[in-house]
Amino acid sequence: MAGEQTSLKRRVMNAGLWSIAGFFLNSAIRFGSNLVLARLLMPDMFGVMAVASTVLVGLHMFSDFGIKQNIIQSSRGRESLFLNTAWSIQISRGLVLFCAAFSVGLVILIAGRSGYVPFGTAYADASLPPVICVLSVSAIVAGFESTKIFEASRILALGRLTRLEIACQIIGLISTMTWLMFDRSIWALVSGGITSGLARTVLSHVWLPGTPNRRKWDPQAASEIIKFGRWIMISSILGFFVNAGDKLLLGGMIDARTLGQYVIASLFMASIEGILVKMMQDVSFPSFSEVVRNRPLELKKHYYKFHLVIAATAYFSAGSLMICGRDLIAFLYDQRYSTSGWMLEILSVILITVPFRLATQSFLALGAPKLLSKIIVLRLAAMMILVPGGFYLAGVQGAVGAIVLSHFSYIPTIVYYNSMYKLLDVRREFLVSIFIPLGLAFGFLLSRGLMFFGGTLHVQYP
């Protein structure tokens, strides 16, 4: 038992280090390429690409049977027949997604030509339908990804997986920059996305160790995957509207240029949020699942070990960006993106809610995915009510503020379920909040530094 625990600690630490290293490398590549592309492309292209990507992600989540979560959580998660059955389901799903995405592109095209799309919005942009249709090919490509990716996540072997993701990101960036040498259009972004996905699929088969994939079918395995996955699918569908609802709603309220500025602002917040969510999904969930299988009474102790790291990072980052958001945007981008500054300062408050989402990973590990659906429903309802209301009352600023407020709607429910499963420690929750004022102080210093070295654009709220 002691050896098992030591092994888990070692794997968790290694996985955490790889996640952090991957975060910094991915962020460096993402921000570096974003700074370059922002100078070569127009803001409206980022807005159109955001809507198109949201459609693809939405369809992906609409049909998510939780194959990854199944392989990580199930006692059969390392059996060849189980893995190959999951792969067969994944391939079929990819083909269905391709047809669905292509159809959405055609529907938007017909609706636009028939005058059913609001004029001047991102949905009315002429490049949106063809971009969606071409990007739909990526669904077929992703369907053939090897289950070796999920095997690596199950045993917390994230080293090679992180290197694979970085390699794919670099390959996609090379494709984008090569395209830009001949054509400065939105198709450079499209080519990068498809090339990156193709590289990920190929490398998942040839680079990662694990069970080779073949088309096989086991009714019992399929039944287990679908039974557990039905709640994951419901959560994914709701999660799509929650996570992409801001862009979907704003796309019908504002023009592509303003939406592109919003995308730039959300990139900073989402990068920090993304690494924390990635650690929760790729490190804490496999760890919690292993603890529940072997030492269920120790779940609370493991929960708060992760909570300390995630909460400290989230609270410190939130405090920093609340203060220096406008100066950071002004330092890194030109005048066309100045509106992104005040948006970033408001959106950064969302990071305060991220540590509470750690509880959802413990619910999944406990075999209760149904709870995740209930939590997501609350935030979705709040967003659908608050965002249109905020836009009506205060325009873009009101809508952005409403998006932030919707994130806080599910916190009381998470606290309730944490208490029910005896995972709540109020003292630890409050102690870690000290990182918010520390972040505010750091943000003030960073803001002064940015003003000293590069000047700032004093952007007034709209």
For 271-290, what is each residue's pLDDT tens digit?
788 778 877 877 787 788 77
Q: Which residue has the higher pLDDT, 121 or 136?
A: 136
Residue 234 token pair: 């419901």
Q: How confident is the model at residue 346, as a pLDDT?
A: 92
How far does Cα 314 stand from its chain's mean position? 15
Question: How large is the angle between the packed helices 43-62 and 80-113, nearest 10 degrees?
Answer: 130
For 199-223, what is each residue's pLDDT tens digit?
999 998 988 888 888 888 888 877 8
For 293-345, what is each residue's pLDDT tens digit?
777 777 888 888 888 989 999 999 999 999 988 888 888 877 777 888 889 99
Residue 126 token pair: 């002429």
Contact 245/387 with Cβ under 8 angstroms? yes
For 290-304, what is each residue's pLDDT tens digit?
787 777 777 888 888
How far does Cα 293 stand from its chain's mean position? 28
Q: Which amino acid is at 10?
A: R
Share of residues in the chain with pLDDT > 70 (%) = 83
Q: 365 CB contacts (<8 Å, ≥6 apart)?
A: 73, 285, 288, 289, 291, 292, 299
How far does Cα 53 stand from its chain's mean position? 12
For 432-449, what is each residue's pLDDT tens digit?
999 999 999 999 998 888
Q: Is 365's pLDDT higher than 80? A: no
- pLDDT category of residue 121 using cuts at 50, 70 and 90: low
Stated pTM of the model? 0.62
The whole-angstrom separation of Cα 351 and Cα 92 is 36
- Segment 16-41 shows an average pLDDT of 66
Among positive and negative, which fits the CA dihedral 226, 228, 230, 235? negative
Alpha carbon distances (Å) from 117 to 54, 205, 250: 17, 42, 14
